[in-house]
């Protein structure tokens, strides 16, 4: 009986040690993956910087495209207490007109 209990305790101790070892190993592998990921990101950033420096004229075009980006259009929400404003911009369509068009579209889809 004493031998059986001794071996039982030894098995439990070994299981605990194995669990701890597995946790340590997982943590080590996770840190290794994170380091590799960070290294790859740094390498990719350097490559992009090098490509941007090589293609200077293309960089100017992309910067200009970003600068001339259209502004966002915000529509009235329910919290505006029923006030309706016209949507400005290239469209120039009022909210009422948009709702009417949406209703026509829904009706044509149902027919």
Higher pLDDT, 77 or 32: 32
Higher pLDDT, 22 or 60: 22
Q: List the helix and strand counts (H, then E) for the chain.
A: 3, 0
**pLDDT-based confidence at residue 16 (cuts at 50, 70, 90):** very high
Q: Is the pLDDT of residue 59 over 80?
A: no
Question: Which domain covers residue 31, as residue numbers?
Answer: 2-67
Phi, psi of 86 (to 5 degrees): -80, 145
99 occurs within a structural domain:
no
When pLDDT is averaged across residues 26-33 and rounded to a whole number, the result is: 96
**Residue in the structure block whose two tokens are 């290239």:** 90
When pLDDT is averaged across residues 57-74 and rounded to a whole number, the result is: 59
What's the pLDDT score for residue 65? 57
pTM of the model: 0.38
16 occurs within a structural domain:
yes
Average pLDDT along the chain: 78
- pLDDT tens by residue, 74-93: 666 555 544 555 445 555 67
Number of independent structural domains in the chain: 1
Q: Pick from 39, 41, 19, 21: which is nearest to 31 by CA? A: 39
108 occurs within a structural domain:
no
Query: Residue 79 carries which DSSP code?
Result: G
84 occurs within a structural domain:
no
Residues 6+ apart with CB under 8 A from 12: none
């Amino acid at each position: 009986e004493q031998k059986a209990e001794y071996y039982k305790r030894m098995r439990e101790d070994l299981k605990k040690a194995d669990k701890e070892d597995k946790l340590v190993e997982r943590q080590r592998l996770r840190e290794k993956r994170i380091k590799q990921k960070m290294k790859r990101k740094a390498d990719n950033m350097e490559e992009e910087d090098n490509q941007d420096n090589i293609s200077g004229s293309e960089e100017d075009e992309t910067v200009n495209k970003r600068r001339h980006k259209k502004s966002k259009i915000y529509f009235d929400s329910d919290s505006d207490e029923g006030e309706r404003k016209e949507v400005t911009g290239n469209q120039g369509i009022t909210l009422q007109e948009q709702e009417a068009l949406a209703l026509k579209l829904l009706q044509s889809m149902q027919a």
